[in-house]
Amino acid sequence: MTHEQGEWERIIAENPGHSAWYIDRFRGLAERGEDIVGEARLVDAMVGRGATILDAGCGPGRLGGYLHRVGHVVVGVDVDPALIAAAEADHPGPTWVAGNLADLDRPERFDVIVCAGNVVTFVAPSTRVDILRRFADHLDLDGRAVVGFGAGRGYPFAEFLDDARTAGLVPDVLLSSWDLRPFTDDSGFLVAVLRRS
Ligand SMILES: C[S@@+](CC[C@H](N)C(=O)[O-])C[C@H]1O[C@@H](n2cnc3c(N)ncnc32)[C@H](O)[C@@H]1O
């Protein structure tokens, strides 16, 4: 299906080198031994071993790759085919799929959908509710979606939480960081743990 162009698609259309830069950035961080999987450690703590996990907007696969290595069944979906190719090269094992989350239509029902790294601020605003609805539809009955993004990126937290409710997702826990700091009115980051309403 054709959708309004999102911010990431606009960036890579304007700057074809952007994807390669982004891939190199994470390869460099990994080579230097930086901790680039904090979000995935939180997700790992939410489920038993062998859970079914969707990495939504997976990029070059840093989180899905880790979650696969610690024993989960991982699907990663991203709209940027260059990033999916990097995920396949660097993190073999998960099912990596090039596609728009607005078209998400997988046979799995997931224990967790993790959507980290400001993905929801890069999708086209006209697809936000549809994407959240697809998250809801792809969750197991007890499943949770964990969505993390920063303030000042054109998607106010209150609007996101309204969209989530419209899409059939309600908050279980709101945090301001992936290391479990509480969310307050002043928080500059939101990690929303959502379940089906
Ligand atoms: C800042 S990157 C974060 C990547 C990854 N989640 C991480 O944290 O390493 C944002 C990602 O969102 C993806 N993205 C943006 N719009 C998308 C859409 N509509 N469907 C799927 N992926 C999308 C981009 O391709 C990009 O990989």
Ligand 1 pocket test, candidate residues 1, 2, 3, 8, most atoms within 8 A of CB: 8
In sequence order, which residues have a C-beta less than 8 Å from that of residue 111 and are 6 or more positions away? 46, 47, 51, 52, 53, 140, 142, 143, 144
Cα separation, 23 vs 17, in Å, equals: 10
pLDDT score, position 25:
97
**Mean of the pLDDT values across residues 182-188?**
98
Per-residue pLDDT tens digits for 48-67: 999 999 999 999 999 999 99
Mean pLDDT of the chain: 98
**CA of residue 83 to ligand 1 center, whole Å:** 9
If you take atom 4 of ligand 1, which residue's CA is the nearest one? 59
* 7: Cα separation from own chain's centroid: 15
Predicted confidence (pLDDT) at residue 156 exceeds the cutoff of 90: yes
**Ligand 1 atom with the shortest distance to the CA of 101:** 20
pLDDT score, position 126:
98
Per-residue pLDDT tens digits for 105-130: 999 999 999 999 999 999 999 999 99
Delimit the domains of the chain by residue range.
7-196
**Ligand 1 atom with the shortest distance to the CA of 83:** 27
pLDDT score, position 1:
80
The CATH superfamily of 7-196 is Vaccinia Virus protein VP39 (3.40.50.150)
Cα separation, 67 vs 29, in Å, equals: 18
If you take atom 10 of ligand 1, which residue's CA is the nearest one? 119
Binding-site residues, ligand 1, Cβ < 6 A: 6, 8, 57-59, 62, 77-80, 83, 100-102, 116-119, 122-123
The 169-175 sheet, strands edge to edge: 95-98, 73-78, 52-56, 110-115, 139-150, 189-196, 169-175
Cβ atoms of 65 and 90 closer than 8 Å: yes
Q: What's phi and psi for 66, nearest 5 deg?
A: -65, -45
pLDDT score, position 107:
98
**CA of residue 78 to ligand 1 center, whole Å:** 6
* 23: Cα separation from own chain's centroid: 16
Q: What's phi and psi for 59, nearest 5 deg?
A: 60, -145
In sequence order, which residues have a C-beta less than 8 Å from that of residue 107 and are 6 or more positions away? none
pLDDT score, position 49:
96
Per-residue pLDDT tens digits for 5-33: 999 999 999 998 999 999 999 999 999 99
